[in-house]
Amino acid sequence: MLAERRVLAERRVLAELAVQGDAEPEGRTWPWVDSPRAISCLLRLAARGEHDGVRRLDPLPRPGLLRASEVTLSPAQQPELFELEMLGGSLERRYRKARPEVEAMPWGTLDLSHFASDELIAARRAWTGAAFQEHRTGVACAATLRALIEARAPLDLIALASRFPLDEMVHVELCARMAMECGGGTEILHDPTAMVVDANPDLPALMQAAELCVRFFCVGEALSIPLIRGTWHAARHPLPRAVLGRIVKDEAAHGTFGFTFLDWAAPRLSDDDRAVLGHAADLAIAFISHQWDDIRRRPKRAPSPGDALAWMETDSYLALAGRSMEEKVRAPLLARGIPLSPMPAKGP
């Protein structure tokens, strides 16, 4: 109910955006989108695929100011159910051969008989949400891979990145199977054509690749390593421990990738380019900070054997998240001359 009310409130802010946008339709530049509330709404709705079609959020020269372009505020595409399937047969056998660790996990060992029904529902919802997030990350990795190829990044760097979409598909399967082990997936509706915010197409190829590397890898993936590792350490049962352990292992290469790219690109970037990348990082950081504000407001639930992800709603998780953002994301970006705005203030 609370979530529904929040979505309604966010839609009201978007309706205000539409009115203001009509006043200056060309380029859809809405100067007042520097309101933290409006930015937060746009980012949250964009990330959840519940918005009405934000395709791009471009930083403008003044910190915190965004140009929301290619925004359509007409009703969203018919949302689609997040469902997965396997073709099976020889194709599945090839996939299993490439990633034998999936079948080697101790599936079928969770004893659900001691769980209260609300604990089971929370676990099913958390693992389904995790599968969806991994699926979104797959889209982000594929978009970055395309941009890297178009930018003629070094072949060995591209070769490393070409493994990432497959890793994410494995993570999708692992999380989806965890949801099934807990009794089945829960319903997620999404707009499959708006899973990630693309790079600004007006930028040169190298900068488009750099923008995506900064947002998806230097921020998103670099931050996820310590957080997933923390969740893995908190997990007690062998099955979620095996699943999270596998994800941690794969993510190690994802988390350092963005900085490897930046080190290669460094001689090709001007101060203006670095400022653009700093704004891109600010956007991604602001989005994650809003997610933490959401977690802070939620009632806490205790982790149970199948529900290792419940740890991600605890105070220790939030403390680790704040520390990791400083040490694993902001410090390495600043060390590479990418200017960042101060961290957004903590929400209530």
Contact residues: Fe ion, CB under 5 A: 134, 168, 171, 221, 251, 254
Measured from the CB of residue 108, what is the shortest distance to Fe ion in angstroms?
23
Strand 66-69, strand 56-59: pairing? antiparallel
Residues 266 and 279: their CA atoms lie apart, in Å, by 17
Give the shortest CB-158-to-Fe ion separation in angstroms: 16
User: Shortest gap between Cβ of 198 and Fe ion (angstroms)?
Assistant: 18
Q: Which is nearer to Fe ion, 248 or 338 (CB)?
A: 248
Structure tokens at 9: 């409130």
Written as one letter, the residue type at 50 is E
User: Rounded CA gap, 40 and 321, in Å?
Assistant: 19
The least CB distance from residue 76 to Fe ion, in Å, is: 26
Least CB distance to Fe ion at residue 164 (A)? 6
- Cα 97 to chain centroid distance, Å, stands at 28
CA distance 144 to 220: 13
Question: How many whole angstroms separate alpha carbon 67 and alpha carbon 140?
Answer: 21
Instruction: Name which of 58 and 134 has its Cβ closer to Fe ion.
Output: 134
| Cβ nearer to Fe ion, comparing 173 with 221 | 221
Smallest gap from residue 145 Cβ to Fe ion (A): 12
Q: How far is the CB of 268 from Fe ion (least distance, A)?
A: 25
In a 10 Å sphere around its CB, with 0-12 CB exposed, 13-18 middle and 19+ buried, how is residue 237 labelled? middle
Q: Which is nearer to Fe ion, 168 or 282 (CB)?
A: 168
Residue among 52 and 221 whose Cβ is closer to Fe ion: 221
CA 57 from centroid of its chain's CA atoms: 16
Please say which residue, 223 or 239, places its beta carbon nearer to Fe ion: 223
- Taking the complex as a whole, the smallest distance from the CB of residue 134 to Fe ion amounts, in Å, to 5
Q: Which residues lie closer than 8 Å to 102 by C-beta, 6 or more apart?
A: 96, 170, 173, 174, 246
CA 116 to each of CA 4, 107, 152, 186, 298: distance values in angstroms, whole numbers, following the listed order: 25, 21, 54, 17, 20
Q: What is the rounded CA–CA span in Å between residue 259 and residue 130?
A: 25
Q: Which is nearer to Fe ion, 68 or 105 (CB)?
A: 105
| Measured distance CA(149)–CA(316) in Å, rounded | 40
Cβ distance to Fe ion smaller for residue 144 or 314: 144
